[in-house]
Structure formats: structure tokens, C-alpha cells
Amino acid sequence: MAVVRDVTDLRRSERLRRELVANVSHELRTPLTSIKGFVETLLAGALRDEDNSRRFLEIIEAETNRLTKLVDDLLELSRLESKGVTFRMQPVDLGELCAQVAARHQPRAEAAGVRLEWQAEPGVVATADPDRVEQVLTNLLDNALKFTPEGGRIRVSVRQEAQEAVVVVEDTGRGIPPDDLPHVFERFYRADRSRTRSSGGSGLGLAIAKHLVEMQGGRISATSTPGHGSVFAFWLPSAREPVPAPSEPSTGSQDPRTA
């Protein structure tokens, strides 16, 4: 039985390796092909047209930024999977941290016509690495903003559940089909292949978030109702020594339609 199991594991590892190589090759080739095409067009004489040359250069810049993001995410995921990341575990006030991250995303939400809200129960403190929790929430908010249409809403909430601290990101986007839901934390998996590339995603943000949460002793989940939005939540161990809590819950929001 042990030999059969070893062979099965080897075959699975080889299949995953082939899939990763194929995905990385495809993700790199797409922006490189675009950059090459526009450079060739510029060299062929489009530089003489100032308006076209500027537009082409802006596209090249965007594709270059996308490549940089992809390479950075690949390196980050590789470090996480090889346990090459150091975590600075300490008590973290999740309400305060989430308010800061949400506020930084407010200008982007306003530009997209999306209402971004956040609310936290007082005194919710987790044992975690604040920089890594910020990275997880940033990835979840980036994902929500990509798929929430104009006039939609994103809500970030923080609460205590028994011995765990919980952060929830809800959106009113198109939702995730039931067949895709079990795969959303896989590398390069796209429930909506027609939109993710155009929105600039690497297809690795949710996979990175899952690794970061689990390596801090937590767990992460996704639920969705197609046509009614998605809910991403992650749980982290509560801190033994909570920091002083504010007297009122921390809240914030801004409606771009009335700002």
C-alpha cells in the first residue's frame, strides 16, 4: 500500500508541476506578446503619430506593471510554499488595522462608483503578523473591487467568535458559480476568465491569502450566491492579552454617489 501511495503522490506532484509550468508560461506569454506587438508597431512608424505613440506606450507600461506583479506574486507564493517566510506574531487590533486598509482602498472604490463600508466590534485582537494580515485583506479587497460593478457595495467587518477573531469581506458583485467555488483559492484559477486578465490580476492573490492565513494558524473560506455577491472570511487565533478597546465600534464608509 505504501508503494502505491508513493507512486500516486509522485504522479500528483508531477501533474501539479506541469500545470504550474503551463499556467506560468501562458501568463507570461500574454503580456509579452502584447508588448512585443506594440513595440514593433512603434518601430514601424507609429512614433510619428504623437497620440497613437502615447496610447501604445501607456499600454506597454500597463502590461509591464502586470508582468512585475505576476513575478512578485510567483516569488511570494514560492516562498510561502517552501516555508521560507518569517512571521512576526504579536497581538494585532484587527479593527484598527482593517480600518486603515479599507481607508486606503477608498479612493479606488470612489473612482469605480462602489460604496466601501467597514465596521468592527471593539477589542477584537488576534495573534498574528500585522503586515501579513494587511496583505490578506488587501488581496481580498482587490478581488472584491475587481468584480463589484458601479453602484455596488463592499463591506468589511470584524468580530469575535469564541477563541477566534474573524474578518469578513462581502461584496454585491456577480458572485461565483457553485462549480467554481471549491477552486477559488487555487493558483491561477479564474471563475471568470473573461474579466480577470483585463482587470490586471495575476490569478494568485487568493492562493497567497490562503497560505498566509493558514501559516498563522487560521483558516479562510468563500461563499457565494450567483447574481448576489460573494463573502470571503478568515479566522485567526485570538490574542491572550487584548489591547484596550475603544468605547464605540469602529466604523467608516463613503458613498461615492453623494460624496
Instruction: Say if residue 36 is in the same domain as residue 102.
Output: no
| CA end-to-end span of the chain | 65
Mean pLDDT value of segment 172-201 = 73
Would you state the pLDDT for residue 255? 44
Would you state the pLDDT for residue 243? 45
Would you state the pLDDT for residue 151? 95
State the pLDDT confidence band at 41, using cuts at 50, 70 and 90: confident
Mean pLDDT value of segment 78-97 = 88
CATH code of residue 228? 3.30.565.10
The one-character DSSP state at 46 is G
The one-character DSSP state at 249 is -
Q: Identify the domain containing residue 199 by its residue range.
A: 90-254
C-alpha span between 180 and 202 (Å, rounded): 17
What interhelical angle do 205-214 and 130-147 show, nearest 10? 150
| Residue that is last in its domain, among 81, 114, 149 | 81
Q: Residue 259: is its pLDDT beyond 60?
A: no
Total domain count, the chain? 2
Neighbouring residues of 159: CB distance < 8 A, sequence distance ≥ 6: 120, 121, 124, 165, 166, 168
Instruction: Say if residue 182 is in the same domain as residue 236.
Output: yes
Q: Any bridge partners for residue 94, and if so which?
A: none
Q: Does some domain include residue 259?
A: no
C-alpha span between 157 and 147 (Å, rounded): 19
Would you state the pLDDT for residue 21? 59
Q: Residue 46: is its pLDDT beyond 90?
A: no
| Nearest to 111, CA basis, from 162, 60, 160, 145 | 145
Please tell me the pTM assigned to this model.
0.72
Instruction: Say if residue 77 is in the same domain as residue 149.
Output: no
